[in-house]
Amino acid sequence: MKILKQVLGVDVAQKELVVSLGRIYDDLSKEVYAHKVFSNKESGIVALLKWIKKHTHEDIKLIIVMEATGVYHEKFAYYLDDKGYDLSIVLPNKISNYMRTLETKTITDKTCSEAITLFGLERNLDVWKRPKPVYKFLLQLTRERDQIVAERSMVKNQLHAEEVEAVPNTRSLKRLKQRIKFLNKQEQEIKADIDSYIKNEDEIKAQIENITSIPGVGKLTAITVLAETNGFELIRNKRQLASYAGFDIKEKQSGTSIKGKSKISKKGNRHLRKAMHLPSLSAVKHDEKFKEVYIRLISKHGIKMKALIAIQRKLLELTYVLFKNKTKYDNEYKSNKRAQPMMAATL
């Protein structure tokens, strides 16, 4: 039988690369025929590439498939890209959803790598392209700022607690105020670094301008969304984006009955969910369309937080729509026929 396609599936961990090799034949039968574990460092990657050459046919294209696993897959992906290998990086929820269709009872690193291999054999995946370095820098900076804001909030709470003491410690008060001042300075430095990185990025500045036309969405929120998604690099539709952020709905269901209340999965990028919280509060307060949706949802189930989370998801999906269409949010969409389909699909 003739081999049509070869795939290396990689389950990437902090210290290990668990790999499986598979191939599909001209009768469409699939085979996973080799498995091994390598260290996730340069010496391990070199050994892996030698192992690949030994167990694959050089005249048939090999595609390497892996999950997007935070920072752990990046070094490996960049190394393969430098060596000229074709690779595809997929969102983790895609693999987990695919694994549910398999007859795999035990989930291990090996079975995960085998599932990734089979997924790569069955799907026509896009070849990964190295993202713009600016997205990586923006990701580092926005997450650093997020940590500083969280730390400052904690210090402010400590300051308040000390101030309401019967006998406040003046030296403690002084140190707490100094820490807040220092954290404020660091946040301003990060914002200046962000501005310097996007100063000459006309395309990104245009994207930010479009996204910030959404009610409640500010510059830092827009930058956070772009950074956390690498400019929506792996996102193909709104449903996929919602799942990536953990806004997808999770239900406990048995037969024809639903056991318990539905809720969002939260198995996704928490930074994206957090970034949409304040914009959702602002949107339902200042934009009639979002206010109308919010009120309708509350009247349906009476839970304000659940309605607010729905608005957060809608806002995030809208950032993707505006990004793809390269357009701004139109608050007068009811009188704009061209805007109606876009808003109807999003809201």
Would 214 be classed as within a structural domain? no
Domain boundary (143, 165, 200) is at 200
Same domain as 231, residue 137: no
Q: Is pLDDT above 50 for 63?
A: yes
- 135 Cβ neighbours under 8 A, 6+ residues apart: 226, 227, 230, 231
pLDDT tens-place string over residues 210-227: 999 999 999 999 999 999
pLDDT tens-place string over residues 264-282: 666 778 899 999 999 999 9
pLDDT given for residue 260 in this prediction:
53
pLDDT given for residue 164 in this prediction:
93
Would 139 be classed as within a structural domain? yes
Residue 37 CA to residue 48 CA, distance in Å, equals 9
pLDDT given for residue 257 in this prediction:
45
Same domain as 146, residue 96: no
Q: Is pLDDT above 60 for 311?
A: yes
Same domain as 233, residue 341: yes
Look up the CATH number of the domain holding residue 105. Answer: 3.30.420.40
pLDDT given for residue 333 in this prediction:
54
Same domain as 165, residue 116: no
pLDDT given for residue 150 in this prediction:
96
Q: Is pLDDT above 70 for 255?
A: no
How wide is the angle at C-alpha 76 spanned by C-alphas 70 and 80, nearest 5°? 135
Mean pLDDT of the 178-185 span: 98
pLDDT tens-place string over residues 74-111: 889 999 999 999 999 988 878 888 988 887 778 888 99
Q: What percent of the chain has pLDDT over 70?
A: 90
CB hemisphere CA count around 184 (13 angstroms): 8
Same domain as 141, residue 110: no
pLDDT given for residue 190 in this prediction:
97
* Tally of domains within the chain: 3
Would 105 be classed as within a structural domain? yes
pLDDT tens-place string over residues 239-254: 989 988 988 766 554 4
Residue 202 CA to residue 180 CA, distance in Å, equals 34
Check if the beta carbon of residue 89 is closer than 8 Å to that of residue 68.
yes
Domain extent at residue 105: 3-122
Domain boundary (94, 122, 150) is at 122
Check if the beta carbon of residue 93 is closer than 8 Å to that of residue 267.
yes
Same domain as 29, residue 83: yes
Same domain as 276, residue 233: yes
Same domain as 236, residue 326: yes
Q: How far is CA 71 from the centre of its chain?
A: 12
Would 212 be classed as within a structural domain? no
Mean pLDDT of the 257-262 span: 53
277, 142, 304: which is closest to 216 by C-alpha? 277
Q: What percent of the chain has pLDDT over 90?
A: 69
Mean pLDDT of the 108-129 span: 92
Check if the beta carbon of residue 304 is closer than 8 Å to that of residue 298.
yes
Same domain as 170, residue 195: yes
User: What amino acid is encoded at 8 in this protein?
Assistant: L
pLDDT given for residue 94 in this prediction:
84
Domain boundary (91, 122, 153) is at 122
Same domain as 161, residue 45: no
Q: Is pLDDT above 80 for 124?
A: yes
Token digits of residue 184: 């404020």
Q: Is pLDDT above 80 for 342?
A: no
Same domain as 63, residue 44: yes
112, 113, 116: which is closest to 90 by C-alpha? 116
pLDDT given for residue 341 in this prediction:
42
Mean pLDDT of the 162-186 span: 96
pLDDT tens-place string over residues 322-339: 999 999 998 765 444 444
Mean pLDDT of the 194-214 span: 95
Would 210 be classed as within a structural domain? no
Same domain as 334, residue 235: yes
Mean pLDDT of the 140-159 span: 96
Three-class SS string for the chain?
CCEEEEEEEEEECCCEEEEEEEEEECCCCEEEEEEEEEECCHHHHHHHHHHHHHHCCCCCCEEEEEECCCCCCHHHHHHHHHCCCEEEEECHHHHHHHHCCCCCCCCCHHHHHHHHHHHHHHCCCCCCCCCCHHHHHHHHHHHHHHHHHHHHHHHHHHHHHHHCCCCCCHHHHHHHHHHHHHHHHHHHHHHHHHHHHHCCCHHHHHHHHHHCCCCCCCHHHHHHHHHHCCCCCCCCCHHHHHHHHCCCEECCEECCEECCCCEECCCCCHHHHHHCHHHHHHHHHHCHHHHHHHHHHHHHHCCHHHHHHHHHHHHHHHHHHHHHHCCCCCCCHHHCCCHHHHHHHHC
